[in-house]
Homo-oligomer: A and B are copies of this chain.
Amino acid sequence: MATIYEVSRLAGVSLATVSRVVNNSDRVSARTREKVQAAMKELDYRPNSIAQSLATNRTNCVGVLVSELHGPVFGAMVSSIEKVLREAGKIAIFATGHNDRAKEEKGVEFLIDRSCDALILHIEALSDEFLQKCQASGAPLVFINRSIEGMEDHCIVLDNEHGGYLATKALLDLGHRQIAYIAGPLELGDARARLEGHKRALAEYGLAPDPALETVGDYHEAGGSRAMGELLDSGQAFTGVVCANDEMAAGAMSVIRSRGFSIPEDLSIVGFDNARWARYLYPRLTTVDYPVDQMGQMAGRWVLQNVYGLEGDPVQRAFRPELVVRESARAIGGDA
């Protein structure tokens, strides 16, 4: 691999001049520029990004910490973040936290150790204090789906409470009054918020939340199945169920079917996230859309603008989910 030195020799100029044309900044005479470019071409010169980083103290790397790298939500998030960063010539490096305190800390440290210029974090377990300290001592931080006290303008958030409200309201509007709820793990803020929304919708219709109709899952298929099984076993009557995410809804649907009920004739179901495959289910799942692509994009854009000083469209920080009506929920007493 040719170095800048060899280019400078071949072109008969100094290192500084070559560096100038590489960073096509500064004024370099047209003649010199051409000479240098010719030399670079001849040697197939490519700047060593490591050396550049050391000299400039800029790595052009953005660290991204998410719970998982794949799955309907995080896969899409990661993908959109990488895309917007890449288009600006920046590079994303990833770490996973699995909603675990220790792993999240390790992940953050890992990314900081790699000298990232900024960090995009989707985390659950780390305390506000830890994060404020990180921020103080190092790279700028952006948060997805979490609001940190005093750093609100670094947070790209989803109104999960509103989403939970919409999901349950969808069933209420269809005439359902006995509505079961399968929550996500309540140590997670979004799971709590979605549940709150559910309760607000009930309240709006003058219904008291019935603890017997409220179960907690794990955001995974297995938890959804288990929870659904318990609800069905409990003997409680209900005509609809809302699940705090699509994955659990998929698990619940299997169980409902395996018990001989049909959807939506016997039971309506509503999910949350609008996973790409939610419309592959049968019946196609009515759910709440989590605009995860957009939120990822905004996180990337925030970094581009606030860290790298690039221009661009404004960053939208707050998102409201919307209901996606499909066929898994229908009016009670509707023509079945």
A253 and B277 within 8 A (CB): no
- Interface size class, chain A: 35 or more
Q: Is the CB of A46 within 8 A of B277?
A: no
Say whether B115 contacts A48, CB under 8 Å: yes
Copies, count: 2
Q: How far is the CB of A95 from chain B (nearest CB, A)?
A: 7
- Least CB distance, A195 to chain B, in whole angstroms: 23
Question: Which residues between 15 and 63 of chain A lie within 8 Å of chain B, taking CB atoms?
Answer: 46-51, 53-54, 59
Q: Which residue of B lies closest to A77 (CB)?
A: B70
Residues in chain B near residue A112, CB distance under 8 A:
46
Q: Which one, A86-94, A122-130, A140-148, is touching chain B? A: A86-94
Contacts of A282 in B (CB 8 A): 253, 257, 281-282
Contact B49 A54 (CB under 8 A): no
Binary B-proximity of A257-299 (CB < 8 A = 1, otherwise 0): 1000000000000000001110011101000000000000000
A96 at the interface (CB under 8 A from B): yes
A68 contacts B by Cβ under 8 Å? yes
A227 at the interface (CB under 8 A from B): no
Is A3 in the interface zone, CB < 8 Å from B?
A: no
Q: Mark A292-316, 1 if CB is under 8 A from B, else 0.
A: 0000000000000000000000000
Q: Is the CB of A94 within 8 A of B115?
A: no
B-chain residues with CB within 8 Å of residue A54 when the two chains form the complex:
48, 50-51, 54
Contact with B along A74-104 (1 / 0, CB 8 A): 0110110011001000011111100000000
Task: Using A93-B91, A114-B49, A282-B282 as known contacts, say yes or no to A70 and B79 having CB atoms under 8 A apart.
Answer: yes
Q: How far is the CB of A140 from chain B (nearest CB, A)?
A: 15
Q: Tell me the complex Cα distance, A280–B277, Å.
A: 9
A7 within 8 A of B: no
Q: Which residues of B contact A82 (CB under 8 A)?
A: 69, 94, 96
Q: Given the complex, which residues of B lie within 8 Å of A276, measured CB to CB?
A: 71
Chain A interface residues (CB < 8 Å from chain B): 46-51, 53-54, 59, 68-71, 75-76, 78-79, 82-83, 86, 91-96, 110, 112-115, 221, 250, 253-254, 257, 275-277, 280-282, 284
Q: 9 closest pairs, A vs B, by CB?
A: A70-B75, A250-B280, A69-B79, A277-B277, A282-B282, A75-B75, A70-B79, A50-B53, A50-B54
